[in-house]
Amino acid sequence: MESAAAALRGGALVLLPTETVYGLAADAGNPQAVAQIFEAKGRPRFNPLISHVYDLAGAERIARFDARARRLAEAFWPGPLTLVLPLADPAAVCDLARAGLETVAVRAPAHPMARALLAAFGGPVVAPSANRSGRPSPTRFRDAMDETGAAAAVALDGGDCAVGLESTVVSVLDSVRLLRPGAVTRAEIEALVGPLAEAEADVKRSPGRLAAHYAPEAPVRIEARDLRPGEVLIGFGDSGGALNLSPSGDLREAAANLFKMLREADRSRPAGIAVAPVPHEGLGEAINDRLARAAGKVG
């Protein structure tokens, strides 16, 4: 882990496993290093990055927490929750990493390798998902290597990502808003901070949510109840399918399989990918959000 921390200190990039998806990591305070991330991903510079920290104490050095934000961090960190908060220290997270915003996104990841690197490095580390911009996030080491491995000086193999979907993003500013659904569900957040405000007005605050995203090469058709010529099926529950997100209908298993199976379905160069209906409740909100984006239906 020391060599990965040394790479970050030297301004190089590290391929980093987290419990959600693989990330492409850099020193948050080094604009040259952060620029390499945008370059490697082909990511538009108006889309800000998440700063990863070891714990709440590390987060409080870069962001301002009120009682609601602290309650969420204490309940879900380390884990798949990102908080968008007022910036406390502009020097710790460079302008480019924040896309010039006066807010900063922070998360303490749970994966032991991510935690070890953050402990060894000792400061905030920005890491977007390690895919090239617009492609499905990598949830396996070899997928991450295929996407942006060439840009990393050190690549850490942490096995398959247990969650398989990017973190839930919640802004805690004037009100609390859900900017991106994820493994921490809307109900779990509302249980701690009350009803969430509508996210629509916040689109400009989560710039990365504007474009169609997570798309494989083949066109994706969702809520599919039949199979059309040339299509490959990704099933759910008893819908069948050689690829099935979860034959037993378990949403956690489905989330962990989603991006992996979109990649696998794509590999045979089908005319299209048909995905069986997945329930919208709980974790299903995040799964359906990613599927809608993969299908080019933002929403």
Find which of ligand TXA, Mg ion, none residue 36 binds, CB within 5 to 8 Å per kind. Answer: none
53 with 59: CB under 8 angstroms?
Answer: yes
The answer to whether 129 contacts ligand TXA (rule: CB under 6 A) is: yes
Beta bridge partners of 83: 106, 170
Find which of Mg ion, ligand TXA, none residue 69 binds, CB within 5 to 8 Å per kind. Answer: none
Which residue, 147 or 166, has its beta carbon nearer to ligand TXA?
Answer: 166
> Encoding tokens for residue 245?
């997100």
CA distances from 236 to 106, 132, 282 (A): 33, 27, 16
**Least distance in Å: CB of 158 to ligand TXA?**
11
Which residue, 180 or 260, has its beta carbon nearer to ligand TXA?
Answer: 180
Among 4, 12, 59, 84, binds ligand TXA (CB under 6 A): 84
The answer to whether 129 contacts Mg ion (rule: CB under 5 A) is: yes
Q: What are phi and psi of 148, to 5 degrees?
A: -135, 15
**Least distance in Å: CB of 104 to ligand TXA?**
6
Among 5, 33, 40, 50, binds ligand TXA (CB under 6 A): 50
Please count the other Cβ atoms lying within 10 Å of the Cβ belonging to residue 271.
Answer: 11
Q: What are phi and psi of 54, to 5 degrees?
A: -75, -40
**Least distance in Å: CB of 227 to ligand TXA?**
31
Q: Which of the residues 193 through 232 are near ligand TXA (CB under 6 A)?
A: 205-209
The answer to whether 105 contacts ligand TXA (rule: CB under 6 A) is: yes
**Cβ-based neighbours of 24, under 8 Å, separated by 6 or more:** 13, 14, 15, 16, 37, 40, 41, 127, 128, 129, 130, 148, 151, 152
Residue type, position 161, single letter: C
Among 11, 47, 56, 120, binds ligand TXA (CB under 6 A): 47
Which residue, 129 or 244, has its beta carbon nearer to ligand TXA?
Answer: 129
The answer to whether 206 contacts Mg ion (rule: CB under 5 A) is: no
**Residue 2 half-sphere exposure, CB side, CA atoms within 13 Å?**
0
By rule CB under 6 A, what count of residues binds ligand TXA? Answer: 30
Task: Give the integer Cα–Cα distance in Å for 26 and 172.
Answer: 25
Of 123-131, 156-164, 178-186, 280-288: span binding Mg ion (CB under 5 A)? 123-131
Closest CA to 221 of 150, 153, 140, 276: 276
Helix (H, G, I), strand (E, B) or coil at 159: coil
**Least distance in Å: CB of 42 to Mg ion?**
12
**Cβ-based neighbours of 267, under 8 Å, separated by 6 or more:** none
Among 7, 15, 21, 83, binds ligand TXA (CB under 6 A): 21
The answer to whether 139 contacts Mg ion (rule: CB under 5 A) is: no
Query: Could you list the residues that contact ligand TXA (CB under 6 A)?
Result: 18, 20-21, 23, 47-50, 82, 84, 98, 101, 103-105, 107, 109, 127-129, 166-167, 169, 179-180, 205-209
Query: Could you list the residues that contact Mg ion (CB under 5 A)?
Result: 129
